[in-house]
Structures are given as structure tokens and as C-alpha cells.
């Protein structure tokens, strides 16, 4: 059995953006599904799915990321595997096409998180795809910057070997202070994975999510059920304000998702399904 869930961020999606969000999530799911269905690892599936989202300017990750207060793109990404709870993450990284692949290359290194120039130097040493930081700016993002939107992408996979992995990738918040770090590269805040319990990934207001260690809360509450645990954590977040959307997979491969943002694009599928399930908001009927 395998199971896969991706999200395209807790945000507002205008009617003109709906199709791009839906198809972007389906394309990402398809990249991960191909790997899981042929017996590949959850880590590889997460990387493949997130790379698709990073390449798609519909989403605030990789190409088309948000611009900080200096008009520059600084990105964060994480990859965590649930068998030995290894973590690889990068933050405030500039000029790489796929931060998730740099995070994956970090997975079995001693440090769990590298920042800024050190992260980029690591990417270079590992022969990752580097670029001019300006190459990551998309026309769509220049437009979005004016509307002050933000989001993060995420993916969780459960593979046929019984292993979980989770990944996040984001350009952070529009107009944020240079060097700002949110929840997305911090284990226990924006994400977590442990084969014994499950895995979770969040998008939303990073400072609020980090202050409430939202991913850790979900992990501790997973025995109540995946969606219950997510909903309770978002309720807790609301005590200090802040928007979020989260996805979960349990150790048995059961998925759940919840959000208090207006929209939250999600796609999921298991080996038992004939087709992907795609939603832009919880109250939507499936189509």
C-alpha cells in the first residue's frame, strides 16, 4: 500500500487562479505517484512532487517565490524521513532552482539546517542546479507581490516499504525582513515525520505556527485521528491569531487535511484509488 498527499498553500485563490492551482497539485501528485507505485521511496516521491510545485509559478516556492523587503528571493525547504527521523533543511537560500533537492542532499548530513550563504555553498558542493537569484522571479510573482499574498507547498508520502517522508518549500512572506525565517524549515513547527506516529506539513503565518509549535502539537494528538489532530492545532493557533492549512498522513497511511485560510489547494491519492482527489477548500464537493 502507498499513500500521497500534496498541498499548494494556505491562501486566497481567485476564480482565475483555481485551474492553475488544481492542475499544479495534480501534476505534483502524479510525479510522486509514479515513484510510489513502482516501489520507490517516500523521500524520492516527496522530492519529485515538490520539485514540480517549485517549477510552477502558481506557487510560492522555487521559481516564482515571494520577494522580500529588498525585492530578493530567499527560500526555505525541508525534507524529513520517518524511519530514523533524519532532517535536511535549508533556509534563506538564494539562487537554486530546487531548494527541496538541496534539503534532500542534507538529509543524512550531520547538520539538520543550513542557512544563507552556507546553504548555497553546500548546494554548490553537491552539484545542485544553481541560478542567478533574479532568474527565480516570475512575472506572476511580481503581480502577486502587489496583492501581498504568500504560501508554502508541502507533500507527505507513505511508501510500500512502510516509510513516511514529508517535505516543505517556500519563498516565505512578501516584503518580509531580509533574513527572516518562518516555520517551514523548522522541525516540529512547519512539519514533522515519524514512522511510529505519522507526518504533518503546514502552510500559513510562519511566526504564529512556530510560536505554537503546530506540527509537534499534531504529532502528539494523532491518536485522536488525523483531521481531529489538525483541527485542534488550528484552533490552538487561533488563540494567538494566524492562518494555516495542514496535511497529515498517519502511520497507517490515512490522510487528513484542514485549514482556516480561505483556500487550501490539496490533492491526494492512495494505491486503492483509481483517480486523484483534488480540493481547493474544505467545503467543496469533489469534482
Residue 150 and residue 213: Cα distance in Å, rounded? Answer: 20
Least gap, CB of 24 to ligand ASP (angstroms)? 15
Residue 30 backbone phi and psi in degrees, to 5 = -65, -40
Residue placing its CB nearer to ligand ASP in the complex, 211 or 282: 211
Part in contact with ligand ASP (CB under 6 A); list of ranges 40-48, 100-108, 147-155, 265-273: 147-155
Residues, the chain, total? 287
Q: Determine the interface stretch with ligand ASP among 109-117, 131-139, 157-165, 177-185 (rule: CB under 6 A).
A: 177-185
Number of neighbours of residue 1 by Cβ within 10 angstroms: 12
Q: Is position 204 an interface residue for ligand ASP (rule: CB under 6 A)?
A: yes
Q: Is 152 a catalytic residue?
A: yes
Residues contacting 117, CB < 8 A, separation 6+: none
Catalytic residue among 41, 58, 91, 152: 152
**Which of 21, 203, 213, 255 contacts ligand ASP by CB under 6 A?**
203
CB count within 10 Å of CB 163 equals: 17
186 sits near ligand ASP (criterion: CB under 6 A): no
Contact residue for ligand ASP among 167, 172, 187, 246 (CB under 6 A): 172
Query: Please, are residues 271 and 45 in contact by the beta-carbon 8 Å criterion?
Result: no
Task: Tell me the C-alpha distance between 163 and 107, whole Å.
Answer: 15
Establish if 167 lies at the interface with ligand ASP (CB under 6 A). Answer: no
As given in the structure block, the three cell numbers for residue 181 are: 525565517
Cell (9 digits) for 263:
483556500
Binding interface with ligand ASP (CB under 6 A): 9-10, 150-152, 170, 172-173, 182-184, 203-204, 206
Q: Which residues are catalytic?
A: 152
Amino acid at each position: 500500500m502507498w499513500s500521497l498527499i500534496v498541498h499548494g498553500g494556505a491562501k486566497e485563490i481567485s476564480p482565475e487562479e483555481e485551474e492553475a492551482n488544481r492542475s499544479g497539485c495534480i501534476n505534483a501528485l502524479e510525479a510522486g505517484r509514479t515513484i510510489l507505485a513502482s516501489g520507490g521511496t517516500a523521500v524520492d516521491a516527496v522530492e519529485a512532487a515538490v520539485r514540480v510545485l517549485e517549477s510552477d509559478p502558481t506557487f510560492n516556492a522555487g521559481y516564482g517565490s515571494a520577494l522580500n523587503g529588498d525585492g530578493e528571493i530567499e527560500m526555505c525547504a525541508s525534507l524529513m524521513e520517518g524511519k530514523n527521523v533524519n532532517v535536511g533543511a535549508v533556509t534563506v537560500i538564494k539562487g537554486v532552482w530546487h531548494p527541496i533537492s538541496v534539503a534532500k542532499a542534507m538529509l543524512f548530513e550531520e547538520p539538520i539546517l543550513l542557512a544563507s550563504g552556507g546553504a548555497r555553498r553546500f548546494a554548490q558542493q553537491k552539484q545542485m542546479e544553481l541560478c542567478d537569484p533574479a532568474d527565480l522571479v516570475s512575472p506572476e510573482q511580481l503581480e502577486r507581490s502587489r496583492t501581498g499574498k504568500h504560501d508554502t507547498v508541502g507533500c507527505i508520502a507513505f511508501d510500500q516499504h512502510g516509510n513516511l517522508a514529508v517535505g516543505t518549500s517556500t519563498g516565505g512572506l512578501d516584503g518580509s525582513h531580509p533574513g527572516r525565517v518562518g516555520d517551514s524549515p523548522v522541525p516540529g513547527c512547519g512539519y514533522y515525520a515519524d514512522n511510529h506516529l505519522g507526518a504533518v506539513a503546514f502552510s500559513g503565518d510562519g511566526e504564529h505556527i512556530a510560536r505554537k509549535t503546530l506540527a509537534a502539537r499534531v504529532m502528539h494528538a494523532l491518536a485522536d485521528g488525523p483531521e481531529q489532530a489538525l483541527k485542534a492545532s488550528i484552533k490552538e493557533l487561533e488563540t494567538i491569531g494566524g492562518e494555516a492549512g495542514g496535511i497529515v498522513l498517519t502511520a497507517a497511511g490515512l490522510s487528513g487535511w484542514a485549514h482556516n485560510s480561505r483556500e487550501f489547494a490539496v490533492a491526494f491519492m492512495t494505491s486503492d484509488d483509481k483517480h486523484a482527489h483534488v480540493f481547493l477548500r474544505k467545503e467543496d464537493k469533489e469534482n
